[in-house]
Amino acid sequence: MDSALRVVEFLSLLFVAIILVVAVVALVLFVIDRTQTGDAIRRNYPLIGRFRHIFSELGEFFRQYFFAMDREELPFNRAQREWVNRASEGKSNTVAFGSTRNLSVVGTPIFVNDPFPPLDDQFSSTQPLTIGPTARTPYDAPSIFNISGMSYGALSKPAVQALSRGAKEAGIWLNTGEGGVSPFHLESGCDLVYQIGTAKFGVRDDAGNLSDEKLRDVAAKPQIRMFEIKMAQGAKPGKGGILPGEKVTKEIAKIRGLQVGQDGISPNRHKEIDNFDHLLDMIAHIREVTGKPVGIKTVVGAEAAMRELFETIKRRGSDCAPDFITIDGGEGGTGAAPMPLIDLVGMPVREALPLVVDLREEFGLQNRIRLISSAKLVNPGDIAWALAAGADFVVSARGFMFSLGCIQALKCNKNTCPTGITTHDPRFQKGLVVEHKYKRVARYAKAIVKEVETISHSVGVSEPRQLRRHHVRLVQPNGRSVPMDKLFPSYNSPTPS
């Protein structure tokens, strides 16, 4: 009995102590809130005002998981992410009952089914396509769908390893991003596109200028199949990237040619390139030094500038042309960008791609310049649309991030990515198991190609690059759909060779 009373007495004292601690903490917070001058709500409503910040932080979580419908979220909705997840797991993407997609949304592509599609034994898979026919070492690119530029530094070591191994497994290329090539890009033996950003990381001398010696060293690696000069990125045209110094480890510093702890700041443009003649000079120089195909990545702002590029090529001759042009849209993603740029600058790819395709056709460069489409293209319909609009290849970054397990936590600009994809914190990186994730990357890439081929078959062509604009209808504001070749009438060229 005495022991029971002692227990009750102890619990009572513990309860009183807890109440006192809570009261003291509440009093301290009350005083802090009442005396601080930075937050009017907390100053006027001490303690209670703190819940506004808590609810604001949790609101994003609750909207994503409990309140948003399958196709409501931005930048990517649940239906898009779930398709990638099922494809990455190798699960069936067949669904029952009916589509949840609202087919009355303006711009929605609707593919035109053929009444007499090819028989199954008349259907063929996509064939390799040559990039850079005038380079000493052209590249026969095997896949229509590939991995867009994501740097080591922006991505973690296990993320790069999984992408590299997945690319090798699927037979696709991996773009290094502007951070240079790391051992983790190279270890799988996959095809790589070396991106040269405005800071020229990995191929710069001590003064930050382009180094021919380092270019030759990079090009000597057989996995490096092409070079891409990054002129602009869809999420931040006119703004260079920044890798904070705290993320510049000894390993990253060595790869990028920086000092440990030094901010990796990319200028807003290449200082050597003031006009399109300078651009073509740099393309020709890098192609001569490396012997590999060289192209550019850019964002379209208006037709006039792109027309000037093609007119400059015509004046100088097709030998000076870029071997490929990657068109990134204003809706493109990034680890971090100013909101005015990510929201307001750059033409969307749905408008930009047909424009550049038509210019390429007008100047007769269909078989000289390959067009690669980027920007928010992650599902089969996106890729099929881009091919029908005239792209030769499609690349995706965020689609492959989803295949790695990205949950759209929107923490890419911090070192706290919960899935280990965009962080260098070992605590979070341990959640990304390369042996499992690389298989997801490969399965996603293969599923995209397979389902794009299925769409192609349904519209009556034997392989995806035979898709044309008349195979797609786009929903208009009045609710009716119009053939894409009526809205963008120029592209009627045959399948590129």
Average pLDDT over residues 458-463: 91
Q: Provide long-range contacts, Cβ within 8 A and 24+ apart, for 423-428.
A: 423/156, 424/156, 424/157, 424/247, 424/249
Residues 50 and 140 in one domain: no
CA-based nearest residue to 386, from 109, 75, 8: 109
CB of 232 closer than 8 Å to CB of 270: no
Report the SS3 class of residue 285.
Answer: helix
Using the predicted structure, report yes or no on whether residue 4 has a pLDDT greater than 80: no
Q: Is 175 helix (H, G, I), strand (E, B) or coil?
A: strand
pLDDT at 25 over 90: no
Give the three-state DSSP class for 455.
helix
Mean pLDDT of 10-36: 86
- Residue 321 shares a structural domain with residue 408: yes
**Are residue 234 and residue 365 in the same domain, yes or no?**
yes
103 domain-assigned: no
- Using 50, 70 and 90 to split pLDDT, how confident is the model at 76? low
Domain that holds residue 219: 120-487
Report the pLDDT averaged over residues 55-67. 59
317 in the same domain as 219: yes
Q: What is the DSSP letter of 112?
A: -
Question: CATH code at 157?
Answer: 3.20.20.70
Q: Does the structure show a pLDDT above 60 at 266?
A: yes
pLDDT tens digits, 123-150? 777 889 999 999 999 999 999 999 999 9
Q: Is residue 99 part of a domain?
A: no
Domain match, 343 and 425 both: yes
* Res 58 pLDDT > 90: no
**% of the chain exceeding 90 in pLDDT:** 47
Q: What is the pLDDT of residue 443?
A: 95
pLDDT digits (tens, 9 = 90+) for 391-434: 999 999 888 988 988 777 666 767 777 778 878 778 877 788 89
Give the torsion sign (CA, 303, 304, 305, 311).
positive
- Cβ(228)–Cβ(195) below 8 Å: yes
Q: Is the pLDDT confidence value at 497 over 60?
A: no
State the pLDDT at residue 453: 93
Is 389 domain-assigned?
yes
pLDDT value of position 70: 56
What would the mean pLDDT of 21-47 be, rounded to a whole number? 83
Q: Shortest CA distance to 496 belongs to which of 393, 416, 376?
A: 393
Same-domain status, 165 and 58: no
Domain count, the chain: 2
Beta bridge partners of 146: 395
| 301 pLDDT higher than 80 | yes
Tell whether the model's pLDDT for residue 336 goes beyond 70: no
Q: What is the pLDDT of residues 357-371, one digit of tens each?
A: 999 999 999 999 999
What pLDDT, on the 0 to 100 scale, is given for residue 11?
79
Domain-located, residue 33: yes
Is 208 part of a structural domain of the chain? yes
Domain boundary among 26, 44, 67: 67
Q: What is the pLDDT of residue 142?
A: 96
Q: Give me the helix-helix angle, 434-459 and 380-389, nearest 10°.
A: 50
Let me know if residue 90 belongs to a domain: no
* Structure token digits, residue 331: 């809706």
Beta partners for residue 328, in sequence order: 299
Between 6 and 16, the more confident residue is 16
Q: Strand, coil or helix: what is 403?
A: helix
Q: Are 166 and 173 in contact (CB under 8 A)?
A: no
Under the banding of pLDDT at 50, 70 and 90, the label for residue 338 is low
Whether residue 262 sits in one domain with residue 166:
yes
Predicted confidence (pLDDT) at residue 195 exceeds the cutoff of 90: yes
pLDDT of residue 139: 98
Asked if residue 471 belongs to a domain, the reply is yes
Residue 225 in any domain: the answer is yes
